[in-house]
Structure formats: structure tokens, C-alpha cells
Amino acid sequence: MTNQEQWMKQALREAEKAFEQDEVPVGAVVVHKGKIIGRGHNQIERLQDPTAHAEMIALTAAANHLHSRRLKDCTLYVTLEPCPMCAGAIVLSRIPTLVFATFDPKAGACGTLYNIVNDKRLNHTLHVISGVSDRESQELLKRFFGRVRRVVPNEGGR
């Protein structure tokens, strides 16, 4: 198992927490010098907060840990390609590297629908690695949305 897979496994644990709380199962961790300094999982429903995405929570925890809004020398691992809001926050945090598991065809802003994190018009771009633990992340999302559709068959995903 590579280092990237080990850190992504921690993000997947966060996604499992979201799953257990009936949230879309997305998890994130911020790693700095070989140590997790920020963790997060989706809490949108629980907090009734549209900004309570896994990435936002993990970035806030990491910034608090470092006492800095600039997360230089950090890597963000997330189980699903970040949305436009999260991609913008990632750029603003100055994280140099983003690693995500699976692409998001409905809201992905790191290569799928948009590529905010590598838009040269912005003042920061970053290195992006995709596909790490892709299968595990996809399986968790499929389990969640399969369960949601069984409970509410006439409504779409969240």
C-alpha cells in the first residue's frame, strides 16, 4: 500500500462516518509533515449548513492547527472530486497538492465540469492526483445512493 493509499484510507474512514450519519459519504484529511492535522466528513444535513462539506471542515481544522490560513507543505486527500466551493477554498488555502479518489460527474471542479484548481487566471494552482482508492469510494457512494433511493424512490440523489 502506497502512502497515498494509506492517507486516502483515513479519508475513507471519515466518509464512513458521514455514511453512518445519513450524509453523502465524503471524507477528507489534510496531511502536514506526515501527520493528519485536519479531518472532515460531510455534515450538511446534520448542521443544516450548505458549506459543511468534508473539505471545508478539514481545511478549517488544518488552518486552526497551523494558526494560518495558508496550508503550505500540506496535502489534501478527499474521497470525491471537490465541488466549485471547495475547489475555491483549496486554491485560497494555497495547498500545493490535492489527491482525490473518484471524479464527480455532477459537481466536479477539479477536472470534470470545471478545473478551478488549475485555472491559470487565479493566483495559485496545484498538483492534482486522481484515482487513488477510486473503487472503494465509488462503492461507498453507490451503497449510500442505493439506500437513499430505496427509502425515497421518487426523489433523485442529494
Distance CA 141, CA 69 (A): 31
Distance CA 118, CA 31 (A): 21
Known catalytic residue: 55? yes
Among the listed residues 14, 23, 55, 81, the single catalytic one is 55
Which residues are part of the catalytic machinery? 55
